[in-house]
Amino acid sequence: MDQYFKIVNNSSNRPLLLICDHASNYIPPTYQKLGLTADQLKEHIAWDIGAAEITLQISKILNSVAILSGISRLIVDANRDPSDQKSAPEISDNITITGNKDLTKINRENRLKKYFWPYHNAIKKQIDYFEEKLDPYNNIPIIFSIHTFTQVMRLVDAKKRPWDVGVLWNRDPRVADILIRELTKHKDNLIVGDNQPYSGKEFYYTLDYHAGGRGIPHCAIEIRQDLVNTPEGINYWATLISKILNNIIDNSKIHKIVQF
């Protein structure tokens, strides 16, 4: 595989770009599974379980462009600053990643060059395309990032995370405010985290890099993995998110460049 990312519906002019940083647990054979077992690579440490399927379903429902990373975050985390040493972690959720021990600067740079930057360049290229083809003042696309999170970490006295879903944002509240409000009032009494279980003010590299600095409306969602480990769960969340996003897309006040 020469291209470690996937683009879906790239000819769509719908003003929405879906991105999925942790869509895959794929590790190229040369890395020998980073010393992990096949079962360990199916765990949340290697990817966001269910995120790719949800992203693809939303893309189909809304006829929107989606870009999905095709490499495990254990090789290089697409949602971390490339200078962050944890972008290729030696330990993840108390599991030692022997293939990442004592990585040299050259090793890290090679991973960034081969896997990280091509994915981010594809996102930038798509945003540039939108800005050329759409109204650059009144029809700016929304950038929406899809993640999932594990309910319990392997920590001493770790407690179950209570949230069904979390909405992550940093400075721009335009999409997050609506999403939190709509999820909170949903008939299924969802437990919604505002910058929980992670804070968008800390873990937000992709959206800050591509959207925050350019004043493009954006937001990330985190769905609990035990809620999306079945086709029924994936369909439920993809349908729900699509309905809310569709309403947000129709809000003309959002599609503008604003610096926060």
Going by C-alpha positions, the residue among 204, 197, 238 that lies closest to residue 219 is: 204
Ordered DSSP codes for 99-154: GGTT--HHHHHHHIIIIIHHHHHHHHHHHHHHHHHS-TTT-PPEEEEEEEE-S--S
Residues above pLDDT 90, as percent of the chain: 85
pLDDT of residue 244: 98
pLDDT of residue 1: 43
- For residue 256, being part of any structural domain is answered with no
- For residue 87, being part of any structural domain is answered with yes
Does pLDDT of 162 surpass 80?
yes
What CATH number is given to the structural domain containing 75?
A: 3.40.630.40
Domain of 211 in residue numbering reads as 5-249
- For residue 136, being part of any structural domain is answered with yes
When pLDDT is cut at 50, 70 and 90, the band that residue 156 belongs to is: low
Which of 95-103's residues contact partners 24+ apart within 8 Å by CB, and which partners?
Answer: 95/36, 95/40, 95/43, 95/45, 95/154, 96/35, 97/34, 97/35, 97/36, 98/34, 98/35, 98/36, 99/31, 99/32, 99/33, 99/34, 99/35, 99/36, 99/74, 100/34, 100/74
Does pLDDT of 203 surpass 80?
no
- For residue 257, being part of any structural domain is answered with no
- For residue 258, being part of any structural domain is answered with no
- For residue 224, being part of any structural domain is answered with yes
> Virtual CA dihedral for 172, 70, 147, 74, nearest 10 degrees?
-100
> How many domains are contained in the chain?
1
Ordered DSSP codes for 54-83: HHHHHHHHHT-EEEEE-S-TTT--TTS-TT
pLDDT of residue 154: 79
Does pLDDT of 138 surpass 80?
no
Burial of 47 (0-12, 13-18, 19+ CB in 10 A): buried
> Taking residues 135-145, what's their average pLDDT?
82
pLDDT of residue 136: 61
> Taking residues 188-207, what's their average pLDDT?
93
Whether residue 146 contacts residue 237, with contact meaning beta carbons closer than 8 Å, is answered with: no
> Taking residues 174-200, what's their average pLDDT?
96
pLDDT of residue 251: 92
pLDDT of residue 150: 94
> Taking residues 164-187, what's their average pLDDT?
97
> Taking residues 232-240, what's their average pLDDT?
98
In the chain, the amino acid numbered 128 is D
Does pLDDT of 137 surpass 70?
no
- For residue 132, being part of any structural domain is answered with yes
- For residue 201, being part of any structural domain is answered with yes
Instruction: Tell me the backbone φ, ψ of residue 256, rounded to 5 degrees.
Output: -140, 150
What pTM value is reported for the model?
Answer: 0.95
Mean pLDDT of the chain: 94
